[in-house]
Structure 1
Amino acid sequence: MASPFEAGHSGQQPRWADPGNQAHDDLVMEVKAKTPITDTITQVTLVRSDGRDLPAWTPGAHIDLVLGPDLVRQYSLCGKPSDLRSWQVSVLYQPDGRGGSALVHQEVREGESITVRGPRNNFRLVEAPRYLFIAGGIGITPILPMIESVDRAGAEWSLVYGGRSRGNMAFADDLLQAHRDGVTLVPEDTHGRIDLAGILAGVASGTAVYVCGPEGLLCAVEAMAADLGIAGQIHLERFTPRSQLDDTVLDNFEVEFVRSGITVSVGPEDSILGVARAAGIPAPFSCSEGTCGTCETNIVSGRADHRDSVLSPAEQEENSTLMICISRAACPKIQLDL
Structure 2
Amino acid sequence: MSAPPDLYGRRPTDRMWKFAARAISAYEVATRFMRSEPPVRPVKGLSMKLVVRKTKAEAEDVVSLTMSKEDWSPLPTWQPGCHIDLRLPSGIERQYSLCGDPEDRWTYRIAVRKLGAGSREVHALREGDTVTVRGPRNAFPFIDVPRYLFIAGGIGITPILPMVKAAQDKDWHLVYCGRSRASMPFLDEIAELDPARVWIRPDTEFGVPVSGKELLTWALPNTHVYCCGPAPMIAGVRVDRATGLHYERFSPPPIVDGRPFEVELRRAGIVLRVPADRTALDVIRDAVPAVPYSCRQGFCGTCSTKVVGGDEMRICVSRGHGRIVLDM
Same-fold status (TM-score > 0.5): yes
Residues 35 and 44 in structure 1, CA contact (< 8 A), matched pair in contact too: yes
2:99 alignment counterpart: 78
1:214 aligns with 2:233: no
Residue in structure 2 matched with residue 232 of structure 1 by the alignment: 243
State the partner residue of 1:194.
Answer: 210
1:85, distance to aligned residue in structure 2 (A)? 0.1
Aligned to 2:88, the other structure's residue is in SS state strand
Render the CA deviation track for 1:22-67: whole Å, top value 9, x for unaligned: x421110000011111232111000012322100111011111111
Which residue of 2 is the match for residue 290 of structure 1?
297
Q: Superposed, which structure 2 residues align to 1:113-124 within 5 Å? A: 113-124=130-141
Task: Name structure 2 gaps, 5 residues minimum.
Answer: 1-37, 264-271, 282-291, 305-311, 323-328
Cα distance between partner residues in 1 of 2:135 and 2:104 = 16
Q: Distance in 2 between matches of 1:129 and 1:293?
A: 32
Letter in structure 1 aligned against 2:139? N
CA separation in 2, counterparts of 1:42 and 1:69?
A: 19
SS at structure 1 position matched to 2:59:
coil
In structure 1, the gaps of 5 or more residues are 1-9, 17-22, 226-230, 253-266, 273-284, 298-321, 333-338
Q: How does 1:154-173 map to 2 (within 5 A)?
A: 154-173=169-188
Q: Helix, strand or coil for the counterpart of 1:90? A: strand
Residue 130 of structure 1 deviates from its aligned partner by: 0.6
SS at 1:178 equivalent: coil
Identical columns (%)? 34
Q: Distance in 1 between matches of 2:299 and 2:146?
A: 28
Identify which of 144, 149, 154 aligns with 1:127.
144
Trace 1:175-194 onto structure 2 (pairs within 5 A): 175-192=190-207, 193-194=209-210
Determine if the alignment matches structure 1 residue 148 to structure 2 residue 165: yes
Equivalent of 1:61 in 79, 82, 105: 82
> 1:294 offset after TM fit, Å?
4.6
**Paired AA for residue 191 in structure 2:** L
The residue that corresponds to 2:121 in the other structure is 103
- The secondary structure found in structure 2 opposite 1:37 is strand
Instruction: Kindly state the Cα deviation for residue 15 of structure 1 after the two structures are TM-superposed.
Output: 7.0
Contact 1:289 1:326 (C-alpha < 8 Å) held by counterparts: yes
Cα distance 1:38–1:65, how it changes in 2: closer, same or farther (>3 A)? Answer: same
Say which SS state the counterpart of residue 232 (structure 1) adopts.
coil
Classify 1:69/1:171 alpha carbon distance in 2 versus 1 (closer, same or farther; 3 Å): closer
Residue 180 and residue 294 in structure 1: after superposition, are their counterparts in 2 closer, same or farther (change >3 A)? farther
CA RMSD of aligned residues (A): 3.3
Give the match's secondary structure for 1:177: coil
Q: Are the counterparts in 2 of residues 75 and 91 from structure 1 also a CA contact under 8 Å? A: yes
- Please tell me whether the aligned partners of residues 15 and 122 of structure 1 are also in contact (alpha carbons under 8 angstroms): no
> 188-197 or 83-92, which moves further after superposition?
188-197
Contact 1:14 1:296 (8 Å CA) reproduced: no
Relative to the length of structure 2, the TM-score reads: 0.69
Pairwise CA distance, 1:233: 1.4
- Contact 1:74–1:239 (8 Å) recurs in 2: no
Counterparts of 2:219 and 2:152, CA distance in 1? 16
Between the aligned partners of 1:216 and 1:57, the Cα distance in structure 2 is 29
- Please tell me the residue identity of whatever aligns with 2:122: V
Q: Which residue of 2 aligns with 1:3?
A: none
Q: For 1:32 and 1:268, how far apart are their aligned partners in 2? A: 46
Of residues 32, 47, 52, the one that matches 1:31 is: 52
Task: Please tell me the residue identity of whatever aligns with 1:237.
Answer: E
Q: What are the superposed Cα offsets for residues 235-258 of structure 1, whole Å, 9 maximum, x if unpaired?
A: 111221111132249879xxxxxx
Instruction: Show CA shifts across 1:107-160 (max 9, x none).
Output: x11101111111111111122221101111111111111011111xx1110000
Distance 1:288 1:176, change over 3 A: closer
Aligned pairs, number: 257
TM superposition score normalised by structure 1? 0.67
Q: Following the alignment from structure 1 to structure 2, what is the Cα–Cα distance between the partners of residues 165 and 214? A: 15
